[in-house]
Chains A and B, each alone.
Chain A
Amino acid sequence: MSSHAWILLGVFLAVLLPTAKPLGIHIANVMEGRCRFAGRFEAALYRVCGIRPAEEMSWLRYASALLLFNLFGVLSVYAVQRLQAELPLNPLALPDVRPDTAFNTAISFATNTNWQAYGGESTLSHLSQMLALCVQNFLSAATGIVVAIALIRGFARQRATTLGNAWVDLTRIILYVLLPLAFVEAIFLNSQGVVQNFVGQHEVTTLQGSRSGRPLDLGQTAEATPNTPPDAAATPAAGTSAQRLAMGPLATQEAIKLLGSNGGGFMQANSAHPYANPTPLTNFVQMLSIFLIPAALCLTFGRMVGDLRQGWTLLAAMGLIFVILAIAAMHFEAQANPLLTRLGVDPVGGNMEGKELRFGIADSALFATISTLAACGAVNAMHDSFTPLGGMILLIDMQLGEVVFGGVGSGLYGMLLFAILAVFVAGLMIGRTPEYLGKKIEAREMWLSSIAVVLTPLLVLGGTAIAVLLAAGRAGIGNPGAHGFSEILYAFTSAANNNGSAFAGLSANTPFYNLTLAAVMLFGRCGVIGPVLAIAGSLAAKQRLAAGAGTLPTQGPLFVALLSATVLLVGLLNYVPALALGPLAEHLLLRAAE
């Protein structure tokens, strides 16, 4: 690992951790109704929508409200895509999206996965991007956060039957947290060169184009060429001096894409595209904004349960695993491909295949680690081109269950499920009925958290098994052998964990993958949120037991170690055989070829 990589990681943590606390406390204030700078607007909103803000909901009503809310989201995203040809703001006159793709995209954006079976600039009109996707980026992020808040209230309250009002929570988190942050970030990104306009395509004459008659083969054009829309490609600019660059309202969508751990890019090349992520500085800010809210929510948790140390402990456990995996990813990407080395390529450069020159190894590997850990799924390099072990780290990042920082809200509630499991086994080991934050962990909580923790691996493994068994599944594979297996495993891992990043090699825009992956995304989201809210309801009703010398301390280094070990052990044990047949086998084959 280069010194640049170490410094980058150090600076990243040094900026992230201090910013997490004030934001975390701000979110706590917002959710507890203490921070309402647009109170009159908020009140007017409730009046118009007929919401009684003082009315609290039981866990079941809370869950139903969220389900209804997101169901409406799915339907609206689907409808906009299917009708986009007739709707305005479609400068390229793109046709309606195919039903299976539209369905997959609707589920994908409503579940905060942002798996993209389509190429953004060549499939969706500006209106679809803004009205359907960008809006969902806010709403699905808000959904994740309020579920986490409801679970926190489950720990914080006692002998309570309600968890809060879902409509109020959603409104407040969007109004006072997501919108202001996204606004500031969009302005910043715009200032750094992220485009924001309603132009369809911009035609440019390349420097060499006029002489050679061939398009310039630089990174940005390499991205732009396959992304030109089908009808534009029919009258190709290639072979002439002109090149068509896709344009659109990027800055607004990029900001919430990262802040809300959505990850669905405006362009197919996502954050690798120069219009989406032009400089190393924007790259750094993008990485930061992916982890910002997940890190802050840990402290929101600490604040709301009345012990900030509990929040720092969760954050420390996440940070510990993150640092280990980030170092691993950067290390493996710094290794050169032995096959290329044999051909005489200097191995010092590391594995630059599929990476942007303006970012290099460390910034790409760190971005990839952050994006896969945080259920974001934005990419600034092609994950398919990572070294086998580097790619395995990205798989592991997601297979841990997206609890290390994780998606906004979903990372925290996922981590709290692991904390419940860790506390259960450790609690028994000190001879007491396990309790977390004074709440006894009993059969009901174990049932629910077991369902939530077990479901995702079963979806990943089951989905992958079906795909490799069926011809329709095998048809999508871009590379033969172990790597092809990794591509399918990656797709289902990404979908079930609501990450959304892709091993680009897999051709997933087929009815088979669109439908199976949509199902996996849906179950992966609802199958966790349901049990989490049920746990919240059950915990809220319990009495909070007093802590004493005999109580398992759930703050401090010991618990950090215990929690990280639990996450790594439970997360990894399920995937060892699959990883052995995919990236590990590929790595060993590659080394044998050396």
Chain B
Amino acid sequence: MPRQTFALFDPVLAVPAIASAFRKLNPARQWRNPVMLVVYLGSLLTTVLAWRAWGAESEPPAGFIVAIAIWLWFTVLFANFAEALAEGRSKAQAASLRAVHKETWAKKLHEARHGGAVSRVLASDLRQGDVVLVEAQETIPADGEVIEGIASVDESAITGESAPVIRESGGDFSAVTGGTRVLSDWIVVRVSVDPGETFVDRMIAMVESGKRQKTPNEVALNILLVALTVVFLGVVVTLLPFSLFSVAAAGSGTPVSLTVLVALLVCLIPTTIAGLLSAIGVAGMSRMLQAKVIATSGRAVEAAGDVDVLLMDKTGTITLGNRQAAAFLAADGVREDELADAAQLASLADETPEGRSIVVLAKQRFQLRRRDMQALDARLLRFSAHTRMSGVDLGDRQVRKGAADAIRQHVDRLGGNFPQSVARQVDEVARRGSTPLVVADGRRVLGVVELKDIIKGGIRERFAQLRRMGIKTVMVTGDNRVTAAAIAAEAGVDDFLPEATPEAKLALIRQYQAEGHLVAMTGDGVNDAPALAQADVAVAMNSGTQAAKEAGNMVDLDSNPTKLIEVVETGKQMLMTRGALTTFSLANDIAKYFAIVPAALVTTYPQLAALNVMRLSSPASAILSAVIFNAVIIICLIPLALQGVAYRPLGAAQMLRRNLAIYGLGGVVVPFIGIKLIDLVLTLCGLT
């Protein structure tokens, strides 16, 4: 599924956003953002002032008031535009997601028995009580109970246990989980929950509706911005009496005009961050959507940035989903290529990833090619849950491979015996954390094939990166301690939890939280639900069960557990963008003071012109330049707000130093240059 992306100011999105920017001038909508509301009221006030001054001789001149009023309105519109553009992108993203969203099909049985009439239905259309047939290589469409048949099921996506498990009707092993895969045989399942995609649909609908609750950090930041606005309001309001007093005391000049006071106020209050705040939040959700992760709330996305412990399932995240053949260990008196040859023959019928990996290994090691089955007069025996072996019959030659005890029974039945050396090898392989498969030709045991977990390429580097970000990785697996330790060491995780039961996972999360950590985890099984609910950030796989999805606060539509890293990065990016723009916005005030204060007070104390360090051409041009800069900077920063501040996996101190240099020092310097340039342009055009 290609990720759909839009150019930043794609006309498809930008044109409706412009229209929406004007619609958002509705006072009811401005109310939500107190800082921009002040700009809005300032625009109204200057408009009234311009109206009254128009055509009359006034101080300041009507043209100046009109120019200020127009640019104040632009400030409001630019902020509205930023928000509208972010919302537009988010909606477009959700729509494209819905369109390409993959559906699973299910074979619905009209009678609750094997062999009944079957119709193909969407998994989402299944309801509680429906009965479905699931055959080999098919995905179980929903949680349910086996009512007929027996099958080996790959539940590695949920439990982390690579070895397939047997599921059969009746007894303790009858429950199956949606999203798991039947490897052999068939089962008839009665659906036990109302499954389907309703949950994800609800999520997409939520994003589309644009009803966004403010995240906790956004609320806190808003408080800071409001506080700054209040104090600057105090600064500007008291400037009028100060100016009146000074004019009287100095006996010269005119008091600061209302227009200039409004201009000063708008320049001082943090309009840059306030105008883009909402766009940043929407863009964060939208970047998640782009990564095909649906967050149930912005709160969850934000929390992802805080995470410092990542709990990951081994299977699918750290290792490839299935084990692969790594070595042939021949029994005494058997050549290795003989073993490889037999193992390959026995695996020809085995379409599981393990089986295919044996064929591939034999080919790599001994150049053994796939043979023509017809020519060999072979009869293939697929793996079945009954025999727990697979193999091939070539005439009366019976080549079999399977678990050690299954082969032992098989050989015993044929009157052979299971050599001690092979039994020792089996133990040794198991101790290494690998899975032993024993191969027999007739009643002769040839040796052991070692199946190993294969660590995903590049995962080690990923973990090193996380460590630099200050995030601890913990591998969770159903494997025993020995196996887990071996894989953990190879993958480079910081810690691991072997023989993980749902209780153990929950306890581990609680323990980390008690130590003051914020824990993220991925999961998809029913048994993950309690842990997911306990974790601070929980990403449920879309392939997982309904329970898992309800318990998590994000759903990954791709069901790719490595996504968690991306989720964390997006969360951090969202916070960083807010912090960076706040710093930038505040730092800008220094230059704006240098532009406006001498301009506003120079009539009273002409000597204050010394503060005009930018050498702006006239007081009117200075004030107008500051106001224009203040408006234009919002447009200039829209790309940054939507795409987020570039994230690099650095330590906190390094990152802070970097961002302080860019947005703090940059915030001090840029407006000096910007305001001077605008002043030059205004002067060149003869506008002042």
CB proximity to B under 8 Å, residues A423-438:
424-434, 438
Residues of B with C-beta under 8 A to A573: 232, 235, 268, 586, 589-590, 593
Interface string of A560-587 (1 = CB under 8 A from B): 0010010001000111111011001100
Residues of B with C-beta under 8 A to A584: 608, 611
Q: Is the CB of A580 within 8 A of B597?
A: yes
If A482-B605, A577-B239, A584-B611 touch, whether A550 touches B579 (CB-CB below 8 Å) is no
User: Within 8 Å of chain B (Cβ to Cβ): is A92?
Assistant: no
If A453-B227, A458-B231, A461-B234 touch, whether A442 touches B246 (CB-CB below 8 Å) is no
User: Within 8 Å of chain B (Cβ to Cβ): is A376?
Assistant: no
User: Within 8 Å of chain B (Cβ to Cβ): is A592?
Assistant: yes
Residues of B with C-beta under 8 A to A464: 238, 242
Q: How many angstroms from the CA of A421 to the CA of B601 in the assembled complex?
A: 31
Q: Is the CB of A442 within 8 A of B216?
A: yes
User: Within 8 Å of chain B (Cβ to Cβ): is A465?
Assistant: yes
CB proximity to B under 8 Å, residues A457-494:
457-458, 461-462, 464-466, 468-469, 474, 480-482, 484-485
Q: How many angstroms from the CA of A442 to the CA of B214 in the assembled complex?
A: 13
Q: Is the CB of B652 within 8 A of A589?
A: no
Residues of A with C-beta under 8 A to B575: 427-429, 431-433
CB proximity to A under 8 Å, residues B54-82:
none
Q: Is the CB of A481 within 8 A of B223?
A: no
Interface string of A275-296 (1 = CB under 8 A from B): 0000000000000000000000
Q: How far is the CB of B512 from chain A (nearest CB, A)?
A: 9
Residues of A with C-beta under 8 A to B608: 580, 584-585, 588
Residues of A with C-beta under 8 A to B99: none
Chain B CB within 10 A, most for which of A425, A484, A553, A578: A425
Q: How far is the CB of B610 from chain A (nearest CB, A)?
A: 6
Q: Is the CB of A574 within 8 A of B607?
A: no
Q: Is the CB of B656 within 8 A of A552?
A: yes
Q: How far is the CB of B218 from chain A (nearest CB, A)?
A: 9
Q: Is the CB of B647 within 8 A of A480?
A: no
Q: Which of B223, B228, B241, B467 contacts A549 (CB 8 A)?
A: B467
User: Within 8 Å of chain B (Cβ to Cβ): is A558?
Assistant: yes
Q: Is the CB of B242 within 8 A of A457?
A: no
Q: Is the CB of B517 within 8 A of A546?
A: yes
User: Within 8 Å of chain A (Cβ to Cβ): is B482?
Assistant: no
Q: Is the CB of B250 within 8 A of A465?
A: no
Q: Which of A445, A485, A576 contacts B245 (CB 8 A)?
A: A485
Q: How far is the CB of B462 from chain A (nearest CB, A)?
A: 16
Residues of A with C-beta under 8 A to B264: 577
User: Within 8 Å of chain B (Cβ to Cβ): is A446?
Assistant: yes
Interface string of B619-644 (1 = CB under 8 A from A): 00000000000000000000000000
Q: What bracket does the count of chain B residues touching chain A fall in?
A: 35 or more
User: Within 8 Å of chain A (Cβ to Cβ): is B504?
Assistant: no
Q: Which of B249, B471, B516 contacts A485 (CB 8 A)?
A: B249
Q: How many angstroms from the CA of A384 to the CA of B578 in the assembled complex?
A: 44
User: Within 8 Å of chain B (Cβ to Cβ): is A551?
Assistant: yes
CB proximity to A under 8 Å, residues B647-663:
647, 651-653, 655-657, 659-660, 663
Pick the interface stretch among B44-52, B161-169, B302-310, B391-399: B302-310
Residues of B with C-beta under 8 A to A466: 241
Residues of B with C-beta under 8 A to A485: 242, 245-246, 249
Q: Is the CB of B245 within 8 A of A426?
A: no
Q: How far is the CB of A441 from chain B (nearest CB, A)?
A: 7
Q: Which of B242, B573, B610, B659 contacts A581 (CB 8 A)?
A: B242
Residues of B with C-beta under 8 A to A457: 231, 234-235
Q: How many angstroms from the CA of A31 to the CA of B228 in the assembled complex?
A: 36
Residues of B with C-beta under 8 A to A445: 220
Residues of A with C-beta under 8 A to B467: 549
Residues of A with C-beta under 8 A to B660: 426, 429, 562
Q: Is the CB of A432 within 8 A of B306?
A: yes
If A429-B655, A433-B216, A465-B241 touch, whether A581 touches B601 (CB-CB below 8 Å) is yes
Which residue of chain A lies nearest to B662 when distances are taken between CB atoms in the complex? Answer: A429
Residues of A with C-beta under 8 A to B578: 428
Q: Which of B219, B586, B607 contacts A569 (CB 8 A)?
A: B586
Q: Which of A429, A545, A549, A565 contacts B576 (CB 8 A)?
A: A429
Q: How many angstroms from the CA of A585 to the CA of B611 in the assembled complex?
A: 10
CB proximity to A under 8 Å, residues B246-262:
246, 249-250
Q: Is the CB of A446 within 8 A of B242?
A: no
User: Within 8 Å of chain B (Cβ to Cβ): is A14?
Assistant: no
Q: Is the CB of A425 within 8 A of B583?
A: yes
Residues of A with C-beta under 8 A to B572: 430-432
Q: Is the CB of A458 within 8 A of B517?
A: no
User: Within 8 Å of chain A (Cβ to Cβ): is B582?
Assistant: yes
CB proximity to B under 8 Å, residues A402-443:
421, 424-434, 438, 441-443
If A432-B575, A468-B245, A551-B652 touch, whether A577 touches B235 (CB-CB below 8 Å) is yes
Residues of B with C-beta under 8 A to A543: 516
CB proximity to A under 8 Å, residues B580-600:
580, 582-583, 586-587, 589-590, 593, 597-598, 600
Q: Is the CB of B470 within 8 A of A550?
A: yes
Q: Which of B305, B597, B664 contacts A577 (CB 8 A)?
A: B597
Q: How many angstroms from the CA of A169 to the CA of B587 in the assembled complex?
A: 41
Q: How many angstroms from the CA of A574 to the CA of B597 in the assembled complex?
A: 12
Residues of B with C-beta under 8 A to A309: none
Q: Is the CB of B242 within 8 A of A588?
A: no
CB proximity to A under 8 Å, residues B302-343:
302-303, 305-306, 308
Q: How far is the CB of B248 from chain A (nearest CB, A)?
A: 9
Which residue of chain A lies nearest to B668 when distances are taken between CB atoms in the complex? Answer: A569
Q: Is the CB of A446 within 8 A of B656?
A: no
Q: Is the CB of B580 within 8 A of A546?
A: no
Q: Is the CB of A443 within 8 A of B597?
A: no
Q: Which of A433, A443, A451, A575 contacts B302 (CB 8 A)?
A: A433
User: Within 8 Å of chain A (Cβ to Cβ): is B515?
Assistant: yes
Q: How many angstroms from the CA of A369 to the CA of B479 in the assembled complex?
A: 68
Q: How many angstroms from the CA of A453 to the CA of B302 in the assembled complex?
A: 27
Which residue of chain A lies nearest to B589 when distances are taken between CB atoms in the complex? Answer: A573
Q: How many angstroms from the CA of A244 to the CA of B309 in the assembled complex?
A: 76
Which residue of chain A lies nearest to B302 when distances are taken between CB atoms in the complex? Answer: A433
If A433-B302, A545-B518, A588-B607 touch, whether A482 touches B246 (CB-CB below 8 Å) is yes
Q: Which of B250, B302, B470, B656 contacts A548 (CB 8 A)?
A: B470
Q: How many angstroms from the CA of A365 to the CA of B566 in the assembled complex?
A: 57
User: Within 8 Å of chain B (Cβ to Cβ): is A450?
Assistant: yes
User: Within 8 Å of chain A (Cβ to Cβ): is B15?
Assistant: no
Interface string of B221-235 (1 = CB under 8 A from A): 101101110111011
User: Within 8 Å of chain B (Cβ to Cβ): is A331?
Assistant: no
Chain B CB within 10 A, most for which of A480, A482, A576: A576
Residues of B with C-beta under 8 A to A585: 246, 601, 604-605, 607-608
User: Within 8 Å of chain A (Cβ to Cβ): is B217?
Assistant: yes
Q: How many angstroms from the CA of A447 to the CA of B220 in the assembled complex?
A: 8
If A441-B220, A464-B242, A545-B517 touch, whether A429 touches B472 (CB-CB below 8 Å) is no
Q: How many angstroms from the CA of A545 to the CA of B308 in the assembled complex?
A: 10
Q: How many angstroms from the CA of A545 to the CA of B228 in the assembled complex?
A: 29
Q: Is the CB of A553 within 8 A of B653?
A: yes
User: Within 8 Å of chain B (Cβ to Cβ): is A52?
Assistant: no
Could you show 7 A-B contacts with beta carbons less than 8 Å apart? A425-B586, A431-B575, A434-B220, A457-B235, A464-B242, A546-B517, A558-B656
User: What are the 9 A-B residue pairs with the smallest beta carbon separation, nearest first?
Assistant: A550-B470, A428-B579, A431-B572, A450-B227, A429-B579, A549-B470, A588-B607, A468-B245, A546-B516
- Seen from chain B, the residues whose Cβ lies within 8 Å of a Cβ on chain A are 216-217, 219-221, 223-224, 226-228, 230-232, 234-235, 237-239, 241-246, 249-250, 264, 268, 302-303, 305-306, 308, 467-472, 515-518, 571-576, 578-580, 582-583, 586-587, 589-590, 593, 597-598, 600-601, 604-605, 607-608, 610-611, 647, 651-653, 655-657, 659-660, 663-664
13 further A-B contacts with Cβ under 8 Å, apart from A424-B220, A461-B235, A474-B245, are A424-B221, A425-B224, A427-B579, A432-B652, A433-B305, A450-B223, A454-B231, A549-B468, A573-B232, A575-B235, A578-B238, A580-B597, A588-B610
